[in-house]
Structure 1
Amino acid sequence: MTTFVPRVFSGVQPTGNLHLGNYLGAIVRFVEMQSTHDCIYCVVDMHAITIWQDPAELARATREVTAAFLAAGIDPKAHIVFNQSQVHVHAELAWVFNCVARMGWLSRMTQFKEKAGKDRENASVGLFAYPNLMAADILAYLATHVPVGEDQKQHLELARDIATKFNHDFSATIASNGFGEEFFPITEPLITGPATRIMSLRDGTKKMSKSDPSEYSRIALTDDADAIALKFRKARTDPEPLPSEVDGLKGRAEADNLVGIFAALADQSKAQVLSDFGGSQFSVFKPALADLAVARMAPIASEMRRLLADPGHIDSVLTDGADRARAIAEKTMDGVKDVIGFIRKK
């Protein structure tokens, strides 16, 4: 019978220039979950190449994401940190899922529509099918939970659909091979807290993004104290003072974003922040926010720089993690082959 260990899987694409949104929306949650789950954290370099990547930059960015994981407090000995391309099962299981998932399911994926834009005929097959690879990432480890933001919920729903269809289509051989009623778990979402969407410092209606041409739109994880202070000082706001109640933030996207960032960095609610700063001008609030951000982020930036100066150490962490991940994933893949009728070496 398949035993599902409470296990979290999550991945971050190595596309460079990690920022405060990546940290507060994902990495800080990864650190917290180490105390409650068996955690597998992956730098998903295979996902990154769904659009063209400069090879040298891809390698650099893979190490940068790994450095961010470690600097933030992820323990690569107690848990697993690796890069996706070192474990062949991700690609192998993704092909099986290409044959389980339906074209209609993938056609409804809103992220493909957004990324491909009007020129869909020129989009790579990988960009269209990558939700199947994401399902393989999760299910290769029989992960029971995945932390997701709003933009990834649809892909997790697809992974659940694939697992359900696989379990149904092969129910007879799943049972006859001793796996019980289900081979794959129906993975549950872990919806992260109120600061999951950190918006641009230049436009509070747009998500903070590494692709924004303005450096002043985001706080990079490697920014020093002076850069952090300058970017918050230049952050767009409105002329009104901060409200005393959360309802007063409605229709004030930039104010809402800055209060949300402060709340996330201070581990407080927006209401608590406004109880302290309600009625204050941004000329008072912004320096306080910058000081808080520097206190929280500067040690991480310093540790990232130290780690990145020793790429051999980062590579050894990834290799060790990949060896341990491979042992789990290959066992899953052996079971898949038995269930679907592939003859394998035993």
Structure 2
Amino acid sequence: MTNRVFSGAQPSGNMHLGNYLGAFRNWVRLQDDYECLYCVVDLHAITVWQEPAGLTHQIREAAAAYMAAGVDPARSILFNQSQVPAHSELAWIFNCVARLGWLNRMTQFKDKAGKNREKASVGLYIYPNLMAADILLYKATHVPVGEDQKQHLELTRDIAQKFNHDFGADLFPEVEPIIQDEGARVMSLRDGSKKMSKSDPSDYSRINLNDDADTIAQKIRKARTDSELIPETPDGLTGRAEATNLIGIYAALADMERTAVCADFAGKDFASFKAALTDLAVAKLAPVTEEMTRLMNDPAEIDAVLRKGAERAQALAAPIMAEVRAAVGLLG
């Protein structure tokens, strides 16, 4: 069986440093060892209200961010989800395979819906079934996941097993996780206990991939830290969430261990460290921002890449959906 990776990100809000370090950069590396499909998951985005014109822009911006980070449409299949209708078809079949009890255990729905659970869209509740369809539609064998996505991958495995059992078909593989490094989890610049997020109301909580050098410098300068000096080893960062986060960002951008970063800056204050972090972040992100800007100025190029990617994805999905329909008993 082909070792095949599927992954994607929602086109809702600006892509940021957390997306780059936690996902995109790893996707680029996976292209060397796997057949990769990278998807702009626009159907997931509309589980909450999106302004239509804004969504169109965000889909293109997400694709531009993938490519600017190094995802190569010639080596990987890059497309947006809604252009391959089989995602929706398989999701509906999985809606009829998954059990309510499984979805009731999904913690992300509780987090996203909050106190207004009764007013949340049905799509927000059942979107883990769509996520399972995204992966299994291509018989993906591996999915890169962070700690907060492990539960959804377990659900994908449950759905695959139940489908195979219910219909007596050895059709879907048992998907394996590719676990992200701890250093890939980037936290908010304003609150080290929260993950860096597009949905945070403060733009100073994140570094966006389309921020210019001056904006990056200002955000790092204003990032929350503490008054203590940088310790000789990461052990000295215990209980210092914001300090840990900035050290981790530097380590990830520089491809260093946190131990080495602490050794290099031991005894220094965060004012001098932030200056070094700013120089590093600008050097690493400026080429990404520049390429994103170039691509966004030529939306026809982005649309052509997505259209070609969707054609390639559909070609992979079609025979698998034929197997699914035959197993279920659906015609054609």
Q: Calculate the TM-score normalised by the size of structure 1.
A: 0.95
Moved more, 7-16 or 194-203: 194-203
Contact residue 13 and residue 199 of structure 2 kept, 8 A:
no
Aligned partner of 2:204 in structure 1 is: 216
**Aligned partner of residue 142 in structure 1, secondary structure:** coil
Aligned partner of 1:292 in structure 2 is: 280
Contact residue 170 and residue 339 of structure 1 kept, 8 A:
yes
Contact residue 16 and residue 64 of structure 1 kept, 8 A:
no
**AA at the equivalent of 1:252:** R
Report whether the alignment pairs 1:332 with 2:320.
yes
**AA at the equivalent of 1:313:** E
**AA at the equivalent of 1:214:** S
Aligned partner of 1:243 in structure 2 is: 231
Report whether the alignment pairs 1:98 with 2:95.
yes
Of 12, 24, 27, which aligns to 2:24? 27
**Aligned partner of residue 164 in structure 1, secondary structure:** helix
**AA at the equivalent of 2:14:** N
Of 135, 144, 147, which aligns to 1:147? 144
Of 34, 39, 42, which aligns to 1:37? 34
Contact residue 89 and residue 333 of structure 1 kept, 8 A:
yes
5 Å matches for 1:1-346?
A: 4-171=1-168, 174=169, 182-344=170-332
Contact residue 18 and residue 65 of structure 1 kept, 8 A:
yes
**AA at the equivalent of 2:139:** L
Q: Distance in 1 between matches of 2:172 and 2:244?
A: 41
**1:17 CA drift (Å):** 0.9
**1:114 CA drift (Å):** 1.0
**1:214 CA drift (Å):** 1.7
Q: Calculate the TM-score normalised by the size of structure 2.
A: 0.99
Q: Distance in 1 between matches of 2:98 and 2:184?
A: 29
Q: Distance in 1 between matches of 2:224 and 2:233?
A: 21
Q: Distance in 2 between matches of 1:121 and 1:194?
A: 35
Percent identity for Structure 1 against Structure 2: 64
**Aligned partner of residue 115 in structure 2, secondary structure:** coil
Q: Distance in 1 between matches of 2:111 and 2:206?
A: 22
Runs ≥4 residues deviating over 6 A: none
**AA at the equivalent of 2:116:** D
**AA at the equivalent of 1:126:** G
**1:194 CA drift (Å):** 2.2
**AA at the equivalent of 1:88:** P
Structure 1, residues 152-191: CA drift from partner, whole Å, max 9, x if none? 11111000000011111112xx3xxxxxxx2100100100
Q: Distance in 2 between matches of 1:260 and 1:9?
A: 26
**1:202 CA drift (Å):** 1.1
**AA at the equivalent of 1:29:** N
Moved more, 224-233 or 287-296: 224-233
Cα root mean square deviation, aligned: 0.8
Q: Distance in 1 between matches of 2:61 and 2:309?
A: 16
**1:142 CA drift (Å):** 0.2
**1:87 CA drift (Å):** 0.3
**1:217 CA drift (Å):** 1.1
Q: Distance in 1 between matches of 2:74 and 2:52?
A: 28
**1:16 CA drift (Å):** 2.0
Q: Distance in 1 between matches of 2:4 and 2:205?
A: 35
Contact residue 221 and residue 300 of structure 1 kept, 8 A:
yes
Q: Distance in 1 between matches of 2:76 and 2:15?
A: 22
**1:333 CA drift (Å):** 0.5
Show structure 1 runs of 5+ residues with no match.
175-181
**AA at the equivalent of 1:257:** N
**1:241 CA drift (Å):** 0.3
**Aligned partner of residue 117 in structure 1, secondary structure:** helix
**1:135 CA drift (Å):** 0.2
Q: Distance in 2 between matches of 1:283 and 1:98?
A: 52
**1:5 CA drift (Å):** 1.1
Contact residue 35 and residue 76 of structure 2 kept, 8 A:
yes
**AA at the equivalent of 2:72:** D
Contact residue 91 and residue 129 of structure 2 kept, 8 A:
yes
Q: Distance in 2 between matches of 1:211 and 1:143?
A: 29
Q: Distance in 2 between matches of 1:210 and 1:123?
A: 19
